[in-house]
Protein backbone atom coordinates (compact mmCIF):
# COMPACT_ATOMS: atom_id res chain seq x y z
CA UNK A 1 0.00 0.00 0.00
CA UNK A 2 1.35 3.38 -0.99
CA UNK A 3 1.17 6.09 1.60
CA UNK A 4 -0.29 9.42 0.58
CA UNK A 5 2.36 12.11 0.53
CA UNK A 6 1.89 14.44 3.47
CA UNK A 7 2.41 18.18 3.66
CA UNK A 8 5.42 17.55 5.87
CA UNK A 9 7.71 17.99 2.90
CA UNK A 10 9.61 21.25 2.40
CA UNK A 11 7.37 24.19 3.05
CA UNK A 12 7.63 27.06 0.65
CA UNK A 13 7.12 30.69 1.66
CA UNK A 14 3.77 31.54 0.04
CA UNK A 15 4.43 35.28 0.27
CA UNK A 16 7.71 35.12 -1.61
CA UNK A 17 6.23 32.72 -4.10
CA UNK A 18 3.32 35.07 -4.74
CA UNK A 19 5.56 38.12 -5.02
CA UNK A 20 8.56 36.77 -6.89
CA UNK A 21 7.74 33.26 -8.05
CA UNK A 22 10.72 31.93 -6.14
CA UNK A 23 10.32 28.89 -3.94
CA UNK A 24 12.00 29.84 -0.67
CA UNK A 25 12.04 26.95 1.76
CA UNK A 26 10.91 28.06 5.19
CA UNK A 27 13.09 27.27 8.18
CA UNK A 28 11.47 26.02 11.33
CA UNK A 29 12.65 27.68 14.50
CA UNK A 30 12.73 26.16 17.96
CA UNK A 31 9.17 27.36 18.64
CA UNK A 32 7.74 25.58 15.64
CA UNK A 33 7.37 28.79 13.65
CA UNK A 34 8.37 28.62 10.01
CA UNK A 35 10.49 31.63 9.10
CA UNK A 36 11.41 32.77 5.62
CA UNK A 37 15.23 33.01 5.35
CA UNK A 38 14.95 35.77 2.73
CA UNK A 39 12.42 37.93 4.57
CA UNK A 40 12.36 37.25 8.32
CA UNK A 41 9.05 39.09 8.62
CA UNK A 42 7.45 36.23 6.71
CA UNK A 43 6.50 33.89 9.52
CA UNK A 44 4.05 31.05 9.35
CA UNK A 45 2.58 28.50 11.65
CA UNK A 46 1.22 25.19 10.40
CA UNK A 47 -2.37 24.69 11.52
CA UNK A 48 -4.11 21.40 12.28
CA UNK A 49 -4.92 20.79 8.63
CA UNK A 50 -1.30 21.29 7.67
CA UNK A 51 -1.87 24.65 6.02
CA UNK A 52 0.38 27.58 6.73
CA UNK A 53 -1.08 30.48 8.63
CA UNK A 54 0.65 33.80 8.79
CA UNK A 55 1.73 34.57 12.33
CA UNK A 56 3.32 37.44 14.17
CA UNK A 57 4.58 35.18 16.95
CA UNK A 58 8.23 34.35 17.30
Residues making contact with Zn ion (CB under 5 A): 13, 15-16, 36, 39, 42
Q: Which residues lie closer than 8 Å to 52 by C-beta, 6 or more apart? A: 11, 14, 26, 34, 44, 45, 46
Query: Would you say 19 or 47 has its CB closer to Zn ion?
Result: 19
Give the shortest CB-38-to-Zn ion separation in angstroms. 5
Residue closer to Zn ion (CB basis): 50 or 54: 54
4 vs 56 by CB, closer to Zn ion: 56
Amino acid sequence: MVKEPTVKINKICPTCFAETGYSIVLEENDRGILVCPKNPQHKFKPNKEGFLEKTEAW
